[in-house]
A = this chain, B = another copy of it.
Amino acid sequence: MSTDYVPSREDRFSFGIWTVGWQGVDVFGSAVRPPMPAERAVYKLAELGAHGVNFHDNDVFAFDATPAERDERIGAFRKALAETGLVVTTATTNLFGHPMFRDGAFTANDRQIRRFALAKVMRNLDLAADLGAKTYIFWGGREGSESGAAKDIRAALDRYAEGLNLLGAYVREQGYDIRFAIEPKPNEPRGDILLPTVGHALAFINSLEHGDMVGVNPEVGHEEMAGLNYAHGIAQALWHGKLFHIDLNGQHGPRYDQDLRFGAGNARGAFWTVDILEQGGYDGPRHFDFKPPRTEDMDGVWASAAGCMRNYLVLRNKALAFRADPEVQQALLEARVDELSQPSLTAGETIATLRKEDFDPDEAGRRGMAFEHLDQLALEYLYGIRG
């Protein structure tokens, strides 16, 4: 296991074009960094060791680009991809920036907006397929409401499902090799967003016509904004066979969406995130969706992006060493973690068997779980004083 923590293509790190391209506009202040053409992001990310990128349509060309401008911008992007060997792992649609999306896109009350949104996605699906994207992300950041009567939630879910059903059918008709991944978020920029957590999105997918091609794209910060355990959330998504993509970044609990670089924020959570990704069968890109803080100039932007990958590598080494350590394995046994993989009933038993079971509740009540010892070992891997 290398400990120089230099990313390579094999590590399959990817970034949203909009991450390093964020100019720093927020509710309280204007841009602090110049616009970044998508191709510049590609060249620089390649240099840093990334493997792929994810883009919104309007990361590459402006919302109001003429066809010629659009072609020129896509051409430059494509050239950069070709020259660097970076792949487009994923694509998505900007359905939140333009004023028309003030009340959402697929679930806007205004039917014209919904139709425009569907067409916008359709057009970018064509581009995504052409550029080789295998996953198409749906982050419905403006799908929600600030007040109770303004949004009929059940009607909104009908429209959300209608939209994904239509687009799923379109992808299948076109024969595109693309799966969908819904990215949940509890709030911001809307007061309450539809499909606020991994769980809500997983439930919703079960009601879709092409549900088998739809999974989730959980983002660290989004789940942590609801005070939820991200590693638990992606473990449940894996259990359902639905972890199609991930968005790694950092957050400090319920507050505004911080989008810190991966590793910053909840460091222990990051350890368990990498642990489940590496041992749980996730085989997609290790994708970063973060925002270099507004304090930074472009040097800081690249330092921040490099930090994401480096931190993942550091944590991967730690997580693998933790699982390989015989003392840890002994501690897992003492905590009876393996026992949970045994069915509660033995083959041939029925639930009626349990009626006659002999059992001493008081003795059972005295058994400790030895979790603190186990967790201390894990923490010492995080601290780097073991392994």
Q: A378 vs B145: C-alpha distance in the bound complex, in angstroms?
A: 15
Select which of B30, B103, B200 is within 8 A of A199 by beta carbon: B200
Residues of B close to A371: CB separation below 8 A = 103, 145-147, 150, 293, 295-296, 300
Q: Which of A9-17, A65-73, A153-161 contacts B (4 or more CB under 8 A)?
A: A153-161
Closest-CB distance, A119 to chain B (whole angstroms): 4
The count of identical subunits is: 4
A100 proximal to B (CB < 8 A): yes
Q: A206 vs B296: C-alpha distance in the bound complex, in angstroms?
A: 34
Q: A344 vs B341: C-alpha distance in the bound complex, in angstroms?
A: 46
Establish whether residues B189 and A103, one from each chain, have CB atoms under 8 Å apart when the complex forms.
no
Establish whether residues A147 and B201, one from each chain, have CB atoms under 8 Å apart when the complex forms.
no
Once A28-B141, A296-B369 are accepted as A-B contacts, the answer to whether A3 and B385 lie under 8 Å apart by CB is yes
Once A116-B359, A167-B351, A379-B263 are accepted as A-B contacts, the answer to whether A32 and B365 lie under 8 Å apart by CB is yes
Establish whether residues B110 and A367, one from each chain, have CB atoms under 8 Å apart when the complex forms.
yes
Q: A341 vs B142: C-alpha distance in the bound complex, in angstroms?
A: 18
B-contact bits for A82-110, CB 8 A (1 contact / 0 none): 00000000000000111111110011111
Establish whether residues A200 and B156, one from each chain, have CB atoms under 8 Å apart when the complex forms.
no
Once A294-B102, A357-B116 are accepted as A-B contacts, the answer to whether A170 and B351 lie under 8 Å apart by CB is yes
Number of A residues with CB within 8 Å of any CB on chain B: 170
Closest-CB distance, A118 to chain B (whole angstroms): 6
Q: A98 vs B304: C-alpha distance in the bound complex, in angstroms?
A: 22
Establish whether residues A155 and B341, one from each chain, have CB atoms under 8 Å apart when the complex forms.
yes
Q: A378 vs B167: C-alpha distance in the bound complex, in angstroms?
A: 36
Q: A254 vs B257: C-alpha distance in the bound complex, in angstroms?
A: 12
Q: Would you list which residues of chain A between 360 and 375 have a CB under 8 Å from chain B?
A: 361, 364-375
Closest-CB distance, A316 to chain B (whole angstroms): 12
Question: Which of A204, A294, A366, A382 has the most B CB atoms < 10 Å from its CB?
Answer: A294
Establish whether residues A383 and B384, one from each chain, have CB atoms under 8 Å apart when the complex forms.
yes
A26 proximal to B (CB < 8 A): yes
Chain B, residue nearest A293 (CB): B146
Question: Which of A5, A335, A359, A379 has the most B CB atoms < 10 Å from its CB?
Answer: A379
Once A351-B166, A370-B299 are accepted as A-B contacts, the answer to whether A110 and B336 lie under 8 Å apart by CB is yes
Establish whether residues A344 and B114, one from each chain, have CB atoms under 8 Å apart when the complex forms.
yes
Establish whether residues B199 and A197, one from each chain, have CB atoms under 8 Å apart when the complex forms.
yes
**23 A-B contacts (beta carbon < 8 Å):** A3-B385, A27-B27, A29-B96, A29-B142, A30-B99, A64-B361, A111-B344, A112-B359, A112-B364, A146-B295, A147-B372, A150-B295, A152-B341, A155-B341, A157-B236, A186-B255, A188-B255, A195-B199, A200-B203, A206-B240, A267-B379, A296-B369, A384-B384
Q: Which 6 A-B pairs have the closest CB atoms?
A: A384-B384, A297-B368, A199-B200, A199-B199, A253-B253, A99-B365
